[in-house]
Amino acid sequence: MALQSTQPLKPMTRAWWHYVPLVLAGALIVFYVLLPFVTQPELGQTTIRVLTESRGNNELGLNTHGLVLIPLAALGAALFGLWNLLDPRVARAVSALTALGGLMIVTYYIIFAMDYSAEEATYISQMGPAFWSILVVGILMILQFFLPRPPSPHKYRLARLVGNQESIIALGLIFMLIAVGISNPRFLAERNISDVLQGHAYVAVAAIGMSMVIITGNIDISVGSLIGLLAVICGRLAVAGAPIWLAWLAPLLVGAAVGALIGFLVAYMRIPSIVVTLGMLSILKGILIIWTNGERVTDMPEGFFLAQMRPLGIPMPIWFMIVLTILAALWMRYSGLGRSLYAVGGNAEAARLSGISQKRVVLQVFIINGIFVGFASILYATQFAIIQVTPPPGLELTIISSSVVGGVSILGGTGTVIGSSLAAILLNTIRSAMVFINVSPFWLQAVQGVLILVTVLADLLRRRRQID
Amino acid sequence: MTAPATTPQTESKQPTLIDMLRNIITSQEGVLFIIMVIAVLFLATRTDKFLTVDNLLNQGRLLTEVGLVAVPMTFIIITGGIDLSVGSIFGLTAIVLGIAWQDMGMALPVAIVFAILVGTFAGFMNGWFIVKVGVPPLIMTLATLALYRGLAQGLSEGASVRGYPDWFYELGQGEFLGVPSQLWLLLIAVIIAGILLSRTTLGRTLYAIGNNEVAARFSGLQVNRYLLFIYTFSGFMSALAGYIFVSRVSTTRSDMGTGLELDVIAAVVLGGSSIFGGTGSIPGTIIGVVLIQLLKNGLSLTGVTGDATIVVIGSVLIFAILVNTFIQGRKAA
């Protein structure tokens, strides 16, 4: 078995069942597109929008809460199916994940049946065979799990593949979608899903920079104040009549400059980062209050509201979150500087001996963090018609929590930005879910605290097991 | 204050008076004390309302809560740890006090004791997880910063409690021998903590842990027991400060003490404790607490708008550490 796993390029045979997940995913997509309200161009709306609007907004008057689960499951199943073909050894794990997709689809029909009223009965006939075919595909997706398959090598067991923090959070998210969706279908309305994703996009973007800082063994508790300050700079420039590209560029530059100052004090003056950023927290917040006098920024010109744009029907904050997360993840995995972040955080002495200048890396990571905070504050500044001078209280705590829950260890040296972005979404999903299941949002912070604690305990347990 | 033990004993001649004086002045506390005197003199020349007995006593009343929490925070930072949850314990205690009295029908004295016990237990939980499970203090108290604040908000649902009987306000608003009552408490706490830190096994152990925890363990010191104690103590003092605060401002809200941890850590670090552990002292911390409060007060009296003073405080924090790092570096060289 050990021999097998050390031969990565060994040609592998594919049995027919290797194609099952991909075929099912394909069928799902086809039937989904065949649904009657997908092909109604007279509504003049993009496909996904019509499909997932809540009751009354779509032509058929049908309740489509939760229908968004179907494209989500289809997309997931297609990705896993492709993965399956590229590397047949993961077949067993993929079959389990595909079954999870089937579960999501069946969930939609449960929601539909629960919320189904007599007046809708007349519309069911108009749905066509595709509507029920999707249910059949969903059930098949669950059943294919029980196909006979040879056991896969230990390294490719499900527990190994999804045992990392990123997968656990992703599974947690799916579990929440299903559980909260069943108890209140409106949670799964497309508008709410979109709000959940957008609402914390700027947190996720800021958490990318924060994760890098934490990976090097430092911390930045001044981000909340910095986001507030940069957002006001952004807005005021636009109001004062500067070109809009300049208004968007300024937060990045100022953010990088502030980051450089913090990095210089930490790396070259040897003041611990928690102390420097504690001081900066006060300084930035004070400057913000003196400068603005507490007045919020309004009357931004047309075209300023980057976060309200929707290229290809998907809101801009989501684009930013996804693209920046992927770029940062690739950069951290494959670039020299990206790797050295882990080296400095994991073992500073070894990093020094291998020729990495610890000071320079720390300086650079704070500058990069400043740029990501700049991106976050553009999204924050352009989301509404007014810019509040005080950022949401405890913003830095939310950002740090995203990083920590996402698997970035303060002990340094581990974690990825994919985890932190997923965690940022998870935190906002929890907040939204609490509203839908009638839990007072006052408990949100308590949940957040428990989540951090659970993550850290799991991390410690994992580390201990690795040592044993 | 006597000359530190680091005075070279190998030299043949005795350290002269000037040497001793130089040692005192260039010590962490000495540098800070000089900065404070300069700041006070400067502020006194700008307004005649600043350097009056009434004003100073009133400032003493205002700084008590931060001072009380700064004492155990000094202990913790000396060991190389940190406690970010103090502000949340502070708020939780306030809420538990209000709810226990108003909604659970406890007698007020019982409610006070109960609330302080809850706060102490909250600190104990921090310590237990840090010592027994091995969670890093920064993360553990970050989690409980959110958790305890969340509990306070969830329990109170954002509502406030007011209308306490008159005797309840004695501690927060009354005077004893012409000095604000709570200042006496702070004084006692500071004296006891100062002695504990500089004259007892407990104090020496804390420094040992901060300098090298592993070595401290191998030397047979009860590291776990001491760590558990200081985090529990931190919970207790935060709870006490929360109670005093409620008594001072006459009402209970769940957002009380938000950001307190930052004020406290700023004061302790300003007072010469290194976040890396191993150094720090109670006199330094007290100078830090007083300096920050006097700066806030003096600046607002000279016409700087309230919130803008935090720019100065942030700058002083960074500047003071830079100066101290520079001077201590020179001394070591």
* CB contacts, 8 Å: A401 with chain B: 142, 146
Tens digits of per-residue pLDDT, B251-264?
888 888 887 888 89
Residue B73 maps to a domain: yes
The arithmetic mean of pLDDT across residues B82-91, rounded, is 92
Instruction: For the beta carbon of residue A239, count every other beta carbon within 10 angstroms.
Output: 16
pLDDT-derived band at A47, boundaries 50, 70, 90: very low
Rank A25-29, A197-201, A259-263, B260-264 by mean pLDDT and report only the highest.
A259-263
* CB contacts, 8 Å: B325 with chain A: 269-271
ipTM of the complex: 0.81
Q: Scanning the structure block, which residue is given the tokens 């004296």?
A: B191
- pLDDT(A96) > 90: no
Please tell me which of the candidates B82, B139, B153 has its beta carbon nearest to residue A442.
B153
Q: Assess whether A155 and A289 both reside in one domain.
A: no
Q: What rounded mean pLDDT belongs to chain A? A: 79
pLDDT-derived band at A46, boundaries 50, 70, 90: very low
Q: Assess whether A207 and A352 both reside in one domain.
A: yes
- Spatial separation of the C-alpha atoms in residues B18 and B333, rounded to whole Å: 20
* CB contacts, 8 Å: B270 with chain A: none
pLDDT-derived band at B71, boundaries 50, 70, 90: very high
**Residue A268 lies in domain:** 200-467
Q: How far is B13 from chain A (nearest CA, A)?
A: 36
Residues A275, B318: C-beta atoms closer than 8 Å: yes
CB B324 within 8 A of CB B318: no
pLDDT-derived band at A41, boundaries 50, 70, 90: very low
Q: Assess whether A214 and A123 both reside in one domain.
A: no
Residue B110 maps to a domain: yes
Q: Assess whether A208 and A122 both reside in one domain.
A: no
pLDDT-derived band at A368, boundaries 50, 70, 90: very high
Tens digits of per-residue pLDDT, B109-168?
888 999 999 999 999 999 999 998 888 898 899 889 989 998 998 888 877 887 788 777
CB B291 within 8 A of CB B35: yes
Q: Mutate which of A274, A389, A442 to test chain B, going by most B C-beta atoms within 10 A?
A: A442
Q: Assess whether A327 and A247 both reside in one domain.
A: yes
Q: Assess whether A95 and A225 both reside in one domain.
A: no
Degrees, nearest 5: CA angle B265-B268-A389: 35
Q: Mutate which of A268, A275, A448 to test chain B, going by most B C-beta atoms within 10 A?
A: A275
CB A351 within 8 A of CB A358: yes
Residue A181 maps to a domain: no
Structural domain count of chain B? 1
* CB contacts, 8 Å: A280 with chain B: 314, 318
Q: Mutate which of A282, A439, A460, A467 to test chain B, going by most B C-beta atoms within 10 A?
A: A282
CB of B278 within 8 Å of a chain A CB? The answer is no
- pLDDT(B1) > 50: no
- pLDDT(B96) > 60: yes
CB A331 within 8 A of CB A338: yes
- pLDDT(B180) > 90: no
Residues A283, B138: C-beta atoms closer than 8 Å: no
**Residue A269: helix, strand or coil by DSSP?**
coil
CB B245 within 8 A of CB B172: yes
Residue A205 maps to a domain: yes
* pLDDT score of A7: 47
Residue B300 maps to a domain: no
Q: Assess whether A210 and A292 both reside in one domain.
A: yes
pLDDT-derived band at A50, boundaries 50, 70, 90: very low
Tokens of A202: 């700027």
Residues B275, A289: C-beta atoms closer than 8 Å: no
Tokens of A259: 């980051």
Residues A397, B145: C-beta atoms closer than 8 Å: yes
Residues A401, B146: C-beta atoms closer than 8 Å: yes
* CB contacts, 8 Å: A411 with chain B: 136
- pLDDT(A122) > 80: no
CB of B132 within 8 Å of a chain A CB? The answer is no
Residues A290, B318: C-beta atoms closer than 8 Å: no
Tens digits of per-residue pLDDT, A321-346?
989 998 998 888 888 888 888 888 87
Residue A191 maps to a domain: no
Residue B39 maps to a domain: no
pLDDT-derived band at A89, boundaries 50, 70, 90: confident
* pLDDT score of A209: 92
Q: Assess whether A153 and A244 both reside in one domain.
A: no
pLDDT-derived band at A126, boundaries 50, 70, 90: low
Residue A249 maps to a domain: yes
* pLDDT score of A372: 94
Residue A168 maps to a domain: yes
Q: What is the CATH number of the domain that holds A393?
A: 1.10.3470
Residue A374 maps to a domain: yes
CB of B163 within 8 Å of a chain A CB? The answer is no
Q: Assess whether A170 and A232 both reside in one domain.
A: no
Q: Searching chain A, which residue's CA lies closest to the CA of residue B259?
A: A394
* pLDDT score of A468: 63
* pLDDT score of A411: 73
Selection from A30, A111, A102 nearest residue A63 by Cα: A111
Residue B163 maps to a domain: yes
Q: How far is A452 from chain B (nearest CA, A)?
A: 5
Residue B301 maps to a domain: no
Q: Searching chain A, which residue's CA lies closest to the CA of residue B324?
A: A271
- pLDDT(A194) > 70: yes
**Residue B252: helix, strand or coil by DSSP?**
strand
Q: How far is B231 from chain A (nearest CA, A)?
A: 17
pLDDT-derived band at B13, boundaries 50, 70, 90: low
- Spatial separation of the C-alpha atoms in residues B84 and B98, rounded to whole Å: 23
Q: List, in sequence order, the alpha helices (H) in A268-315.
A: 273-292
pLDDT-derived band at A247, boundaries 50, 70, 90: confident
* CB contacts, 8 Å: A276 with chain B: 318
User: Of the candidates A175, A191, A221, which is a domain's last residue?
Assistant: A175
- pLDDT(B275) > 60: yes
Selection from B275, B81, B177, B312 nearest residue A290 by Cα: B312
CB A402 within 8 A of CB A203: yes
Tokens of A13: 């045979």
The arithmetic mean of pLDDT across residues A193-213, rounded, is 89
Residue B169 maps to a domain: yes
Q: How far is B89 from chain A (nearest CA, A)?
A: 13
Residue A187 maps to a domain: no
Residues A443, B139: C-beta atoms closer than 8 Å: no
Q: How far is B275 from chain A (nearest CA, A)?
A: 7
Residues B150, A289: C-beta atoms closer than 8 Å: no
- Spatial separation of the C-alpha atoms in residues A43 and A59, rounded to whole Å: 8
* pLDDT score of B333: 63
By percentage, how much of chain A surpasses pLDDT 90? 13
Instruction: For the beta carbon of residue B306, count every other beta carbon within 10 angstroms.
Output: 10
Residue A180 maps to a domain: no
- pLDDT(A444) > 50: yes
Question: Would you tell me which residues 238-257 of chain B have a C-beta closer than 8 angstroms to some C-beta of chain A?
Answer: 254
Q: Mutate which of A218, A396, A443, A445 to test chain B, going by most B C-beta atoms within 10 A?
A: A445
* pLDDT score of A84: 76
Residues B314, A289: C-beta atoms closer than 8 Å: no
Residue B13 maps to a domain: no
The arithmetic mean of pLDDT across residues A38-58, rounded, is 43
CA-atom Rg of chain A in angstroms? 24
By percentage, how much of chain B surpasses pLDDT 70? 94
The residue that leads in pLDDT, A172 or A9, is: A172
- Spatial separation of the C-alpha atoms in residues B148 and A446, rounded to whole Å: 7
* pLDDT score of A292: 82
Q: Assess whether A387 and A453 both reside in one domain.
A: yes
* pLDDT score of A162: 66
**Residue B276 lies in domain:** 60-289
- pLDDT(A206) > 80: yes
Instruction: For the beta carbon of residue A453, count every other beta carbon within 10 angstroms.
Output: 22
- pLDDT(A55) > 50: no
The residue that leads in pLDDT, B306 or B321, is: B321
Tens digits of per-residue pLDDT, A347-366?
777 787 887 888 888 999 99
Residues A457, B135: C-beta atoms closer than 8 Å: yes
* CB contacts, 8 Å: B145 with chain A: 397, 449
Please tell me which of the candidates A289, A394, A400 has its beta carbon nearest to residue B307.
A289
Residue B189: phi and psi, rounded to 5, are -60, -40
* pLDDT score of B220: 81
* CB contacts, 8 Å: B276 with chain A: 272
